[in-house]
Amino acid sequence: MNLRWPESQPVLGGDPVALRSWRASDVEAVYAACQDETLQNFASVPSPYTMADAEEFIALGAVVWREHSGVNFAITDALDEVIGAITLQNFVEVELTCEVAYWVADFARGQRVARRAVELTALWGHEELGLEQLILKIQRENTAALAAALAAGARPTGLTVDEEHKGIVRNYSIYEI
């Protein structure tokens, strides 16, 4: 079995939370969101985060889609403004698996945005792309990320992994959806 990559990256969901491909005009929103301390602490983004980092991240979206090595979605609100990011990465095609990572801009938190984004990607990943399993690696102390994952239907695998993040080895619990 292979994954079924559509020709173009889809738009998922709709009002009030949609997922779409990145646009060059999203750069300011990404730059601003990535200044947040919580995001800097838990998400895999460069520190300090520059405009060049935001431009690179946005440009990467088209590249990974073309190569079938990832799916980078902007999370947007009813006005099509960026309020977060959710990324499918580290695909293992033979196992039909990938990892999911996400962040929500500080001003948009607490409104079930991450929960909806995980639900939408999991549904599309299973039903359309043909994934068997989407993996979420969450640090024990990241209460918000864990709550969002569980609310979206993720289950603990019982496995953990140590990985270096910004110069510190951290322990991640592995969840699946």
Binding site for ligand COA (CB under 6 A): 38-39, 42-43, 101-104, 109-115, 138, 142-145, 147-148, 151
Q: Which is nearer to ligand COA, 97 or 130 (CB)?
A: 97
Q: Minimum CB separation from ligand COA for residue 19, in Å?
A: 13
CA distances from 115 to 80, 110, 168, 171 (A): 18, 10, 28, 23
Q: Minimum CB separation from ligand COA for residue 75, in Å?
A: 9
Q: Minimum CB separation from ligand COA for residue 93, in Å?
A: 23
Q: Which is nearer to ligand COA, 27 or 152 (CB)?
A: 152
Q: Minimum CB separation from ligand COA for residue 95, in Å?
A: 21
Question: 101 near 87, Cβ under 8 Å?
Answer: yes
Q: Minimum CB separation from ligand COA for residue 139, in Å?
A: 7
Q: Which is nearer to ligand COA, 126 or 170 (CB)?
A: 170
- Closest C-alpha to 111, from 144, 156, 138: 144
Q: At what angle do helices 143-151 and 113-124 cross, to 10 degrees?
A: 50
Strand 17-20's sheet: what is its strand order? 12-14, 17-20, 71-76, 82-92, 97-104, 133-139, 168-176, 155-165
Cis peptide upstream of residue 16 (ω within 30 degrees of 0)? yes
Q: Which is nearer to ligand COA, 6 or 28 (CB)?
A: 28
- Closest C-alpha to 83, from 149, 171, 136, 15: 15
Q: Which is nearer to ligand COA, 64 or 108 (CB)?
A: 108
